[in-house]
Amino acid sequence: MVQVAIIGYGTVGSGVAEVIERNAESIAKKAGQKIEVKYICDIRDFTDDPNQDKLIKDFSIILNDPDISVVVESIGGLKPAYQFVKDSLLAHKSVVTSNKELVATKGWELLKIAREQGVNFLFEASVGGGTPIIRPMHQCLAANQFDEIAGILNGTTNFMLTKMAREGLSFDEALSLAQQLGYAETIDPSADVDGHDCCRKICILASLAFGRHIFPDQVPTSGIRTVTTEDIALAGQLGYAIKLIGRAKKQEDGRVFIEVCPALVDRASQLSTVDDVFNGILVRSDMLGDVLFYGRGAGKLPTASAVVADIIDTVRSENIHQSLYWEKVDEDFLQDAAQDVCGHYLRVACADTAKVLEVAELVFGQLGRCESCGAYTAFVTAEQSQRDFENARDKLAALLPVENCMKVMPY
Amino acid sequence: MVQVAIIGYGTVGSGVAEVIERNAESIAKKAGQKIEVKYICDIRDFTDDPNQDKLIKDFSIILNDPDISVVVESIGGLKPAYQFVKDSLLAHKSVVTSNKELVATKGWELLKIAREQGVNFLFEASVGGGTPIIRPMHQCLAANQFDEIAGILNGTTNFMLTKMAREGLSFDEALSLAQQLGYAETIDPSADVDGHDCCRKICILASLAFGRHIFPDQVPTSGIRTVTTEDIALAGQLGYAIKLIGRAKKQEDGRVFIEVCPALVDRASQLSTVDDVFNGILVRSDMLGDVLFYGRGAGKLPTASAVVADIIDTVRSENIHQSLYWEKVDEDFLQDAAQDVCGHYLRVACADTAKVLEVAELVFGQLGRCESCGAYTAFVTAEQSQRDFENARDKLAALLPVENCMKVMPY
């Protein structure tokens, strides 16, 4: 029998306890032995909780109990999660977490300690909720070199964009609805709508894919506050959906370009049909080409089931996962945003399509379709570097009132 | 260093040799040691092949060489693949294969031998080409109980159906094109178009999901020969795409319903947008809900990269994969097709929509939309058991010329 401690008894932590209890038999079969929760550590009181006998408040009990070989960290945030995880690994216990902030900022260090201690530090649930992505990337795609990752990684903003597209809600209306449904934080929804959550997740995936830690503060990040119903309607007329995309791409010189931004995705692409609270992650690699992983990006039981799969994995594996690893390097291996090559969408406050097309073609050269909706006209440019695009956009803005622009994804 | 033998030097076998050579460095890093191909066994001659020094014709050399710890079987079919794989396992060598026929018919026996010998029998590439599905199912979803699996598992028929839908090709024209492009066999394309290939793959997934071997000859299987351009057009008008679906579903009494058939998939569903040669597999489980895996279902390098990922896995893992296992049982655990509950699509050779609707509602009760196209009218019934549906369909056929019917998938 393996004894596990859960630290943090919120949504994910209580879900982990529930999954372990509900599927105990099949989990024992897969792990090769019974898995039991011995402690649940939380500073709060939970009266009348069925796990009363397991609840403790002092983390050092877990640290000093040699029977505990796996610690589940589901506190979230960095304080005190970082210290608890570090201490657990140093005490020769494997750690499983769903904490994306922890992995995105301290992953390299915790992976290093885990390797030195010969234990596992696993975090499948930190990206995509329960949707498998971390393990497929480092195990199933182990024979591949990664070229690019692009994902719809935040369920809240994807729900909002879907509502804006399907029901014509404004950003504010969609945010209110997401808050009412508990998808977005009521007091400060910025982690979702300003792209920070998505940024942490693409950092984790890119670090794993390219072997070097990428920190969230290195990533140009913008959210969906600037996306209007008009943008969504015009993008639709042009054949695209608007999605909040986190993406990382290996350049020819070996450097990596990474960013988070709202972008246009072709309606023929699988990513464009990832709607509502679902996540979809496109992984492009040298041998395999494109694969896409799609599933519910959040939720108590989905996330908890990914945590429990990691527990089973570490219980079963006698050796540690060599392939789940990346390092911190000092050299600069990120490509400057100005060099990224993309097509661009522009929306201009002018209903005269012919005039917009004429002026825009003077600046951008030949364009494809041009669509108008109400007082606005929109079009998509050919691919060019961000630097060239910005110069051209500034020229256009001197001639016409440019209201918004977004990148067009090549998938 | 680990030495590997490849048996069968066709598309997949030569792809495996290529992937191991091209990504040697990163593969060694992930596996923890260098992986080298020592032998390639094939009865054919390959003059001027760069791997000339490795080519042998006598399989017993591999069997008797203690340096070979992993055998890659890429011959295909049962003879002599089955005997070679069995002998390799009995000689205490792990086996990696892409052979779906072998796994679908002999999986239980080979898994049992592998377990007794303490070696691995891995077959990620047998389903979905390079798209990860076997390992995510038994590792990432290990904390879940499976409810249902539904997949577009055959790239050739999916390419044909896509061409029929987009370009209005007939079945025969689409088949010719698939043959010209090398997607379908020229002499006998029945493995693809009659659903046998899809059947083997859903057998493998269902056996893994439900723990008991399901043999291809137990599965009601029909292919896409009966699907016409009119069906595709009418299904489109009704809001559906037509796809060849392999599906297996756990019933409330614990039994499993499994079948392969062309079916209507709602245009709002992720499965409906899996087009061309791509595969998409929907996995529904108790904790996680729906996840979908999408990628190229065939091709030399994608398939080979999945084989190599299995080689890396078995090289790295000191213990065998306990969770990748199923047994053969004698009791009958498959549900009879007559009990399956589904909505149905019917196409009638009558252009008078009002008349069709009136007659059909007498037989099926209230219906939703009814669409006509040329000389035909089509509609979709409410959900009912296959037995009830067939009775009603026979009644309708006595009144109107029913030309075709297909199931409507609930996803």
Is pLDDT above 90 for A78?
Answer: yes
B271: helix, coil or strand? Answer: helix
Please determine, for residue A369, whether its predicted confidence score (pLDDT) is greater than 90.
no
Average pLDDT over residues B272-278: 94
Binary contact (A299, B289; C-beta < 8 A): yes
Structure token pair of residue A391: 């110069």
What pLDDT does residue B244 have?
98
Residue A395 annotated to the active site: no
pLDDT-derived band at A374, boundaries 50, 70, 90: very high
Alpha-carbon distance of A38 to A2, in angstroms, equals 9
The CATH number fitting domain B2-129+300-316, selected from 3.40.1350.10, 3.30.70.20, 3.40.50.720, 3.40.190.150: 3.40.50.720
Say if residue B277's pLDDT is above 70: yes
| Partner residues linked to B280 by β-bridges | B152, B294
CA dihedral sign of residues A293, A296, A298, A299: negative
pLDDT at B118: 94
For A:200-219, CB contacts with B below 8 A are: none
In chain A, what residues touch B28 (CB-CB under 8 Å)?
Answer: none
Which site among B11, B145, B287 would you substitute to test the A interface, given the most A Cβ atoms closer than 10 Å to its Cβ? B287
Q: For residues A272-301, give the mean pLDDT.
A: 94
User: A346 has which bridge partners?
Assistant: A379, A405
| Span(s) in chain A for CATH 3.30.70.980 | 337-408
Is residue B241 within 8 Å of B180, Cβ to Cβ?
no
* pLDDT at res. A331: 81
Percentage of chain A with pLDDT > 70?
A: 100
Dump pLDDT digits (tens) for B44-80.
Answer: 999 899 999 999 999 999 999 999 999 999 999 999 9
Average pLDDT of the segment spanning B11-26:
96
SS3 for B316?
A: helix
B308 is in an annotated binding site: no
Higher pLDDT among residues A296 and B82, named by residue: B82
Backbone angles phi, psi at A188, to 5 degrees: -140, 95
Residue A318 has pLDDT above 80, yes or no: no
Average pLDDT over residues B253-279: 95
Q: Do B308 and A270 touch (CB under 8 A)?
A: no
* CATH 3.30.360.10, applies to A136-296: yes
pLDDT for residue A332 = 86
Hey, is the C-beta of A254 within 8 angstroms of any chain B C-beta? no
Which residues of chain B are in CATH 3.30.70.1710 domains? 338-408
CATH fold of A337-408: Alpha-Beta Plaits (3.30.70)
In which residue ranges of chain B is CATH 3.40.50.720 found? Answer: 2-129+300-316
pLDDT given at position A323: 79
Say if residue B88 carries a ligand binding annotation.
no
Mean pLDDT lowest among A317-326, A347-356, B18-27, B167-176: A317-326
Please provide the CATH number assigned to the domain covering B338-408. 3.30.70.1710
In whole angstroms, what is the distance from residue A347 CA to residue A366 CA?
17
Overall average pLDDT of the B100-111 stretch: 98
Quick one: pLDDT at residue A300?
Answer: 93
Region(s) of chain A under CATH 3.30.360.10 = 136-296
Whether A144 sits inside 8 A of B23 (CB atoms) is yes
What is the mean pLDDT of the segment spanning B231-254? 96
Nearest to B206 by CA among B134, B303, B267, B157: B134
Given phi > 0 = left and psi -120 to 50 = alpha, else beta, which region is B76?
A: left
Q: Which residues from chain A sit within 8 angstroms of residue B306, using beta carbons?
A: 140, 143, 288
pLDDT score recorded for residue B368 = 79
Q: Has residue A130 got a pLDDT over 90?
A: no
pLDDT at A319: 67
pLDDT value at residue A286: 93
The yes-or-no verdict on residue A320 having pLDDT over 80 is no
Q: Which of these is catalytic: A106, A163, A201, A243?
A: A201
pLDDT at residue B298, as a whole number: 83
Q: Confidence band (pLDDT; 50, 70, 90) for B328? A: very high
**Mode of pairing for the β-strands spanning A289-296 and A55-56:** unpaired
Select from B33, B144, B411 the residue whose CB has the most chain A CBs within 10 Å, as the one to mutate to test that interface: B144
Cis amide linkage into residue B80, ω under 30° from 0? yes
What's A73's DSSP letter? E
The ipTM estimated for the assembled molecules is 0.91
Q: Residue A317: its chain B contacts at CB < 8 A?
A: 317, 319
Q: What is the mean pLDDT of residues A88-95?
A: 97
Give the three-class secondary structure for B243: strand
Task: Show residues of chain B in contact with A316, CB under 8 Å.
Answer: 319, 322-323
- Check residue B319 and give its pLDDT: 67
Burial of B187 (0-12, 13-18, 19+ CB in 10 A): exposed
Segment B385-390 mean pLDDT: 96
- Reading the block at residue B277, the tokens are 């040669």
Instruction: Tell me which H or E stretch contains B232.
Output: helix B229-238
Mean pLDDT score across all residues of chain A: 95
Average pLDDT over residues A192-204: 98
What is the distance between the alpha carbons of residues B198 and B171, in angstroms, rounded to a whole number? Answer: 18
